[in-house]
A and B are shown apart, each in its own frame.
Chain A
Amino acid sequence: MKKKILLLASLVTALAAVGALATSQHAAARVDATCPTVTDGQLTIGTDNPAYPPWYAGGTKTSKWKINDPASGKGYESAVAYAIAGKLGYTKATVKWTYVPFNKSFAPGKKSFDFDINQISYTPARAKVVAFSKSYYDVNQAIVVNKGTKIASVHSIAGLRSFKLGAQLGTTSYQFIKSRINPSQTPSVPSSNAAAVALLKNKQIDGLVVDLPTAFYVTAVQVPNSKILGQFENTAGQATDHFGVVLQKGNPLTACVNKAITTLRTNGTLKKLQQTWLAKATGAPILK
């Protein structure tokens, strides 16, 4: 099996090299041949639809992208994706976005994208199935509540235990509720962001746990009269919750993406992009 992968990898590399030679007149010639992509000379990036702020922004809607077109370069993840693409030698014109539902991003088999960037938290179990890049964002969980409700006056994690909490399916927010808050009522775990937001708006749940930048979007746009009750610290000893881009397990492109992310982190690009797109997502009180 390993042999086959190696063979396949070298074949793909060879093909990419040939492709790079063939298109040596174009910008794609700068692309490193040891970083093969699904389509030669093109970087295919996946994300879920709708693409929500502040991860995707600008409000450019197309018939395909209902809230934001990720190709706008606006929003934190769109900007990071283009920054990575730039480091890999792709121009904006040679980056193609494709719709990848979260559930499909980790399905076995050949992937339709080079990497998927969709607020996917790294966990060791997940990393057994797909390849994760290094962190492009260290994430804190936060809890959003309706103003004026009973939960709105709680100031500690222990105080949250007796309430009906919710988190969207597939997020580490749910794991956080179970392991750190350990509530007395079964939490609500809707499949979509839309349903999660509706449950909070209708007061069918008391509090919604989401990552901090999303919490700011929920309070600013999705649920009027709601507020961020607080954020939770990434405690020492526990692995830091972070987002990584997802690639096919064993994809040699992973090393290339990691190199790009390390550069973007050390040269301050990631920090700058966070200030541009996630600046508001910092000043929430910390719940302990």
Chain B
Amino acid sequence: MVNSFSSGGDGRRSAAIALLSTAVFFILIAVAITHAPGWPEVRRTFFNWGEFKATFPEIARAFLLNVKIFCIAEVLILVFALFLAVLRSLQGPVFFPLRALAIIYTDLFRGIPTILVIAMLALGAPALGLSYVPTSVVFWGIISLVLVYSAYVSEVYRAGIESIHPSQQAAARSLGLSHRQTLRRIILPQAVRRVIPPLLNDFIGLQKDTALVGTLGAIEAFQQASIDTNATFNYTAYLSAAVLFVAITIPLARFTDWLVARDRRRRDAGGGV
């Protein structure tokens, strides 16, 4: 009892020390930055309140395009990546070509820079001159993001699938469930729940990569910010765009933390496997 009290005191003291050292650390950095000879210029060109107010509304409108792109893409990614992961988990020599295809796909699309995939599809596909091929940069931007992110997300799914103990599959099969039923009813429900945090992590990455679609002309938040920056030679517009991205990613990150914590609580309670 005495020990636990004294450890409580220690805890309070360490908290105080941590708080103090953090405060000192940040004050030192702030002082160093604000006393740098170029600080007035940096403040004027990166942290300009007037510019921020002037650019924010239009960038916020442009951000709706980012939201549209990542929402549509995310739904397609979750479906397509699961399909890829299931292909890769197929067993037996008959399915070798499908497994190989899935492996080649993930290797390739994780390796190619996203900007190249977008450029190749958004400028390359319409260049074919086929009347039934859409010419919209946004359309091909979404397709590109789906192709690239599905490669990452399928690996996340696969890790989830492989984390389920083989005895579960053996048990399911011995109960008379087919491979398909086993996957659908036993393996995937557990696997997906386990990988929700990394899935959300990739979702956050996707949100930021929507800005790549802008380089080909679609005016999303980042491209609008670039337009403003180039018009005034003031970088504050990028800050406006950053605020919007952060406003979405931070709540999502906290939500992910909460999911992880909840999962741990359930496991610790002994209810889970």
- Using CB atoms and an 8 Å cutoff, list the residues of chain A in contact with chain B: 1, 4, 102-103, 106, 108-109, 123, 125-126, 128-130, 166, 169-170, 174-175, 186-192, 195-196, 198-199, 201-205
Contact partner of A204 (CB less than 8 A), chosen from B135, B226, B231, is B135
**A1-B40, A204-B126, A205-B217 are known contacts. Are A169 and B230 too (CB-CB below 8 A)?**
yes
**Residue B227 interfacial (CB < 8 Å):** yes
| Measured CA separation A192–B115 after assembly (Å) | 13
Q: How many residues of B contact A (CB 8 A)?
A: 31
Determine if B230 and A204 form an interchain contact, defined as CB atoms under 8 angstroms apart.
no
CB contacts under 8 Å to A, within B207-260, are: 214-219, 223, 226-227, 229-234
Instruction: Report if B38 contacts A (CB, 8 A).
Output: yes
Number of A-B residue pairs having CB atoms within 8 Å of each other in the complex = 85
* CB neighbors of A among B105-155 (8 A): 119, 123, 126-127, 129, 135-137
Task: From the candidates B41, B123, B127, B214, name the one contacting A108 in the complex (CB within 8 A).
Answer: B41
Q: A191-B216, A199-B123, A201-B127 are known; give 9 further A-B pairs, CB within 8 A.
A: A108-B41, A123-B231, A125-B233, A128-B232, A129-B45, A170-B226, A191-B214, A204-B123, A204-B137
Contact A195 B216 (CB under 8 A): yes
Which residues of A sit under 8 angstroms from B38, Cβ to Cβ?
Answer: 108-109
Q: With A174-B227, A191-B226 given, is the CB distance from A129 to B135 under 8 Å? A: no
Residues in B neighbouring A123, C-beta threshold 8 A? 231-232
Complex Cα distance, B263 from A272, in Å, reads 76
Cβ–Cβ < 8 Å partners of A128 in chain B: 232-233
For B229, what are the chain A residues with a Cβ–Cβ distance below 8 Å? 103
CB-CB < 8 A to B93: which residues of A? Answer: none
B contact residues around A1 at 8 Å (CB): 40
A191 to B118, alpha carbons, bound, how many Å?
Answer: 13
Contact A192 to B135, CB < 8 A, known contacts A169-B223, A169-B230, A175-B231:
no
Complex CA distance for A205 and B136, rounded to whole angstroms: 9
Q: Looking at the complex, which one of B126, B223, B226, B231 makes contact with A202 (CB distance below 8 Å)?
A: B126
Closest 3 CB pairs of A and B: A188-B217, A170-B230, A106-B233
**B176 part of interface (Cβ distance < 8 Å):** no
Residues of A within 8 A of B76 (CB): none
In the assembled complex, the Cα of A198 lies from the Cα of B215 at a distance in Å of: 13
Q: Is the CB of B232 within 8 A of A126?
A: yes
Which residue of chain A lies nearest to B234 when distances are taken between CB atoms in the complex? A129
Supposing A174-B227, A204-B135 touch, asked if A188 and B233 sit within 8 A by C-beta, the answer is no
